[in-house]
Chain A
């Protein structure tokens, strides 16, 4: 067995350190060492995207990254996007538009959607469907996920425009 590595990560703004075997996948490091259990495991072939987190500004499938590769990285999971009292716009929007049922894909969906809207704040429906294509959902049929993301984009843009209008006044 290979020696354990000393791993340092910043997860949701907090510095975390632990020892891990090199073969540990990032998803298991998050779930089992750090008890961050929002990101899920839905497959073993890197298709489903349930394990999606944001790592150094990229949407990544944390099942397809060894913990050593992530050493030193800045990671955001769904737990870092909002709190039960102050939901992220996307979290609120998924609730409002029924963008989830079992909830298993949702942490990956919302984390990926947050990055998508950061890169493209005014996506079309096609942009959303293509930009979310690395995330599989078994329950919703996607329609309400698309609705949720488009509504969140509107909300985010609306509030920015609102601020601009306010500032102009």
Chain B
């Protein structure tokens, strides 16, 4: 057998299309029900938000722009006074439990001291103000959520383990039980588990409770989520708390919870696709010293229900242009499903945080006897399009800026942003990701036109 290929990483010019990280307000304000997000920036930020969020704008969202004007930029106006005025207005109109300031490129360039102003205003207003610097200078798309969660990590209450000695006994007893019987008895003891598990990453509440259930099935109850549905339900963090990420773009949150809150990070693959979910559960169980109960059967069972989709995608090739950091996990799932991945573009690759995911990718390639894809950090969209012309992949997973032009050139595409908003986590949602991936391929079979190119450009590059 061939020696396993070690993933190779390349880095290009960073000239790629992605959403501005401030787009994270779109799902954060919906996730944290009692929050209000205030984006401090210019018209450019506002315009990209209003276009990116489309219809949501009209639904009286709990977010707004604090639009900088001439006086703010030339420092004729006092930042603190201006923000105070706006936050007072927000308080009287909406009365949120927390205001999240989303810093932008503008606040970075004019060096607005948001972190300094926030505590002062917080005292004055009586509303917590969380500062997240989600700007396009440093971050891409989903990393915006990372900055916000990392900022919220500091706001989580302190964790105090209850009666350590007694629980210590419980744990040893439970482990013994576990080894001996593997029965329901640890349902009871599981609750007394001294070590608490906190998951981080913003998911729709239904998906979060599915993962809770999945974890509870293994008698490792989830004690909290970051972010939580309500601001005052933030989970307790501290020594003895295990944290685990459910999305690949949360490296800053992981670091903050380890370094600043002394939590222990469980480095697991992410619960995307049935294979990912199983590996995720296995890892958590092993950390908690629990023998995992049947995720293997669960995975193969779920895999069977996907057979109709797998038939379509098996053997097809795919090219990720890269814009939301979910790429590695989805590529791994698609390889497991029998696809060939040519290239995985990714805005930013944290090799430590994603280590387990990368390892799983490597194993998956070995097992499925598929070549290891090249991983391109900070890709260059122009070169990628050239490469795609040569490779002619069956599917390109790409942003909306390139989707229509690629379709016109005969390459089927799937918008990558849909993976960010679709429910792709856990066993229950296993069908959603292949549903998205196969949509363009299914459409192909009864295509009305067999023109290989509908582009208007005469000379195609």
Q: Do A and B come from one complex?
A: no
Chain B contacts to A: CB under 8 angstroms: none
